[in-house]
C-alpha cells in the first residue's frame, strides 16, 4: 500500500519505519526541514533502540519530505502530530493544520488519526474537511517503540464505516493482535482511559510507597511484587519511583480531566493521580534532606544520574528528573547531572560526560532515571550516600536510601 505518515516524532517515525518494513511504500512528512534532511541522509533524529538499523534497512521503501505533494496518490494517510495541552485543554491545531493541508492534495485517501485526541475530534474534522477519518490510537512506549508497534496488545480501530475500518485493519493485520472495531469516539476515549488508568496505577503504588516509608521494615517492592501476582491486578506499572512524566501521561491526564469538566463530569480518581504525581518532587527533596542530615542543601554537591523521563530514551519532555533538578537548584544545591542519551542545557548545573565523573564530583548521589547501567555504579561510590528514587538497586547496602522503604 502507498501510505503517508504526517508527523515524524517518536511514534510517527517508528510507525513509518515499521510499515515500510512490512513492504508498504511510505511517504514521511514533517514540517521540520532539518529533520527531513537528516532522515533523508539516513540519520535517526531520536534515540530509540533498533531505530538506526531499521532506518537503514527500509531506506528504499520510504521517502521523507516537508512538502505534502507526494501524498497525492496515497491510499491511507496517518496523522501522528502532537496534541499538547494549553491551559490544561487539548490543543488540536497541529491535527487541524495537517488534515487541512493534506486534504487539499488528496481528499479520497482514508485519513487515520493516531495522535491522542478527545472524543469527537475525528467527526469534527471529517465534516470540516470533507474527508473520511479513522481513529486508531497508539499504545507505544518509548524505549520499546518498535516492539510495541509490531506486536501491540490490541489494535483499536474506530471508523465511520466498514470499508475504511477494513483498510486500517488490513494495514495492521501483520501484527496478528486482537482487533477492536468500534466507532471513532469509543476509540478516542479508549486511549485516554488507558493512559489515565496506567498513570493512576503508578500513583497508587507511589502512595503505598509513602506509607511504607513510615513503617519500619516495610518495602514497596515486596508489596508490589506480591500484589502483581494477583492476575486481577497484574505486575505492570506498579514500580514505585519519582512519578510519571513523558510526552503522554502528563498532558493526557490534564486533557481528559478538562474535557470531562466541560461536560459537567468530575474525574476524581484521575485528578488525585495527578496530585499524587505532583507531590513526588517534594517527597524526593525531603528524602534527600533527611539522608543528608540537614534541611539546608546550600552548596551541597548533588549528583543526579539520569534526566530522561525514563530509561532507554533521550526524551526529557515533562521529565520528573528535570523537575527535581530545578527544585534542587532552587534549594541552592550544586547540581551535576549525567545521562547516557538525554541532554539538558542549563547554566546553573554541571553536565558530566560520564557517570563516574558525576559520582566523583558529588557529595550525595541521586538515581533519577531507571537506566539499567546505573545499578553498576555502586562499586565507584564508596561511602557516599545514594538516594535511589527509581528502585534500581536490589542490595541492602548501608549507604543506599530508597524510596518506599521503611527504615528497619
Ligand atoms: C505511555 C504509554 O505507556 C503508551 O501506551 C502511550 O501510547 C504513550 O504514553 P511512554 O510515555 O513512552 O508511554 O512511557 P511509559 O513506559 O508508559 O512510562 C511513563 C512514565 O511512567 C515514565 O516516567 C515512567 O518512568 C513512569 N513509570 C512507568 C513508573 O514510574 N512506574 C511504572 O511502573 C511504569
Query: By CB neighbour count within 10 A (0-12 exposed, 13-18 middle, 19+ buried), where does 261 fall?
Result: middle
Cα of 334 to ligand 1 centre, how many Å?
Answer: 29
Ligand 1 binding pocket (C-beta < 6 A) is 138-142, 195, 198, 202, 237-239, 241, 244-249, 309-310
Query: By CB neighbour count within 10 A (0-12 exposed, 13-18 middle, 19+ buried), where does 12 fall?
Result: buried
- Closest Cα to atom 32 of ligand 1: 237
pTM, to two decimals: 0.96
User: What is the C-alpha separation between 28 and 65, in angstroms, rounded?
Assistant: 6
User: What is the C-alpha separation between 37 and 3, in angstroms, rounded?
Assistant: 20
Q: Which atom of ligand 1 is nearest to the CA of 148?
A: 5
Cα of 71 to ligand 1 centre, how many Å?
Answer: 33
Q: Check residue 397 and give its pLDDT.
A: 82
Q: Check residue 362 and give its pLDDT.
A: 97
pLDDT tens over the chain, length 408 residues: 999 999 999 999 999 999 999 999 999 999 999 999 999 999 999 999 999 999 999 999 999 999 999 999 999 999 999 999 999 999 999 999 999 999 999 999 999 999 999 999 999 999 999 999 999 999 999 999 999 999 999 999 999 999 999 999 999 999 999 999 999 999 999 999 999 999 999 999 999 999 999 999 999 999 999 999 999 999 999 999 999 999 999 999 999 999 999 999 999 999 999 999 999 999 999 999 999 999 999 999 999 999 999 999 999 999 999 999 999 999 999 999 999 999 998 999 999 999 999 999 999 999 999 999 998 888 788 889 999 999 999 877 889 999 999 987
Q: Check residue 367 and give its pLDDT.
A: 97
- Closest Cα to atom 10 of ligand 1: 141
| Residue 230: Cβ within 10 Å count | 9
Cα of 242 to ligand 1 centre, how many Å?
Answer: 12
Q: Which atom of ligand 1 is nearest to the CA of 143?
A: 12
Q: All 3 cell numbers of residue 136?
A: 486508531
Residues with catalytic roles: 248
Query: By CB neighbour count within 10 A (0-12 exposed, 13-18 middle, 19+ buried), where does 268 fall?
Result: exposed
- C-beta separation of 12 from 5 below 8 A: yes
Beta strands 400-402 and 110-113, pairing class: unpaired
Q: Check residue 375 and give its pLDDT.
A: 85
Cα of 310 to ligand 1 centre, how many Å?
Answer: 8
- Closest Cα to atom 14 of ligand 1: 141
Amino acid at each position: 500500500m502507498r501510505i503517508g505518515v504526517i508527523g515524524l516524532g517518536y511514534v510517527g517515525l517508528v510507525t513509518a519505519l515499521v510499515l515500510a518494513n512490512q513492504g508498504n511504500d511510505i511517504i514521511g512528512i514533517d514540517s521540520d526541514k532539518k529533520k527531513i534532511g537528516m532522515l533523508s541522509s539516513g540519520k535517526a533524529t531520536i534515540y530509540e533502540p533498533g531505530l538506526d538499523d531499521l532506518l537503514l534497512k527500509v531506506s528504499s521503501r520510504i521517502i521523507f519530505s516537508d512538502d505534502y505533494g507526494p501524498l497525492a496518490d496515497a491510499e491511507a494517510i496517518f496523522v501522528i502530530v502532537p496534541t499538547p495541552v494549553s491551559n490544561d485543554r487539548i490543543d488540536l491545531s497541529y491535527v487541524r493544520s495537517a488534515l487541512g493541508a493534506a486534504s487539499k492534495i488528496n481528499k479520497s485517501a482514508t485519513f487515520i488519526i493516531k495522535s491522542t485526541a478527545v472524543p469527537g475530534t475525528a467527526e469534527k474534522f471529517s465534516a470540516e474537511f470533507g474527508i473520511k477519518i479513522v481513529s486508531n490510537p497508539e499504545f507505544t512506549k518509548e524505549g520499546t517503540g518498535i516492539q510495541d508497534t509490531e506486536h501491540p496488545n490490541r489494535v483499536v480501530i474506530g471508523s465511520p464505516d466498514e470499508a475504511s475500518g477494513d483498510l486500517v485493519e488490513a494495514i495492521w493485520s501483520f501484527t496478528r493482535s486482537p482487533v477492536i472495531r468500534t466507532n471513532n469516539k469509543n476509540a478516542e476515549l479508549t486511549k485516554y482511559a488507558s493512559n489515565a488508568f496506567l498513570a493512576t496505577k503508578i500513583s497508587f503504588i507511589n502512595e503505598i510507597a509513602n506509607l511504607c516509608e513510615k513503617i519500619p521494615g516495610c518495602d514497596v517492592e515486596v508489596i508490589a511484587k506480591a500484589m502483581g501476582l494477583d492476575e486481577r491486578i497484574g505486575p505492570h506499572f506498579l514500580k514505585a519511583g519519582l512519578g510519571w512524566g513523558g510526552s503522554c501521561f502528563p498532558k493526557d491526564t490534564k486533557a481528559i480531566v478538562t474535557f470531562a469538566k466541560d461536560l459537567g463530569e468530575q474525574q476524581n480518581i484521575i485528578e488525585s493521580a495527578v496530585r499524587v504525581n505532583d507531590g513526588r518532587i517534594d517527597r524526593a527533596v525531603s528524602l534527600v534532606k533527611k539522608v543528608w542530615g540537614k534541611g539546608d542543601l546550600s552548596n551541597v554537591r548533588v549528583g543526579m544520574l539520569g534526566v530522561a523521563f525514563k530509561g532507554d530514551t533521550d526524551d526529557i519532555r515533562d521529565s520528573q528528573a528535570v523537575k527535581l533538578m530545578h527544585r534542587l537548584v532552587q534549594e541552592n544545591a550544586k547540581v551535576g547531572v549525567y545521562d547516557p542519551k538525554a541532554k539538558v542545557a542549563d547554566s546553573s548545573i554541571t553536565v558530566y560526560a560520564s557517570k563516574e565523573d558525576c559520582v566523583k564530583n558529588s557529595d550525595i548521589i541521586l538515581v533519577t532515571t531507571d537506566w539499567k547501567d546505573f545499578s553498576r555504579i555502586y562499586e565507584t561510590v564508596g561511602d557516599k550516600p545514594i538516594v535511589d528514587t527509581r528502585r534500581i538497586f536490589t542490595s541492602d547496602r548501608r549507604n543506599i536510601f530508597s524510596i518506599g522503604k521503611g527504615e528497619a
